[in-house]
């Protein structure tokens, strides 16, 4: 197994673990929040941001994991701190 392939597999594993952690954080907010559409949008944004950073090949697995968790926490805190009611389209 080459070193590049090993790093690629490790980054994929880190993205998977980080995404699971982010999803568990988001789902706890999803259950508590009344603005569920915004939470779903935040999950989508977090996955897109994580994917973009991984295109730039962060070889440090711990750095990738930390980045994913920080992104998730930032978006989750933004949701809880936004006090304005958001009109839902139904």
**For residue range 7-66, what is the model confidence (pLDDT) as tens digits?**
777 777 776 776 676 667 666 666 666 666 666 666 666 666 666 655 555 555 666 666
Q: Is 57 helix (H, G, I), strand (E, B) or coil?
A: coil
Q: How far apart are CA 1 and CA 35, in angstroms?
A: 47
d(CA 72, CA 13): 17
pLDDT digits (tens, 9 = 90+) for 13-27: 776 776 676 667 666
Indicate whether 83 pLDDT > 70.
no
3-class DSSP state of 6 = helix
Distance separating alpha carbons of residues 48 and 42, to the nearest angstrom: 10
pLDDT value for 5: 74
pLDDT, position 2:
73
Task: Give the pLDDT score at 90.
Answer: 46
| 6 — pLDDT class (breaks 50, 70, 90) | confident
């Amino acid at each position: 197994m080459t070193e590049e392939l090993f790093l690629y597999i490790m980054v994929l594993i880190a993205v998977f673990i980080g995404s699971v952690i982010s999803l568990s954080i988001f789902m706890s907010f999803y259950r508590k929040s009344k603005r569920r559409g915004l939470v779903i949008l935040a999950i989508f944004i977090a996955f897109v941001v994580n994917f973009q950073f991984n295109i730039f090949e962060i070889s440090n697995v711990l750095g990738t994991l930390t980045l994913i968790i920080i992104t998730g926490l930032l978006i989750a805190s933004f949701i809880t701190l936004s006090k304005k009611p958001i009109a839902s389209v139904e």
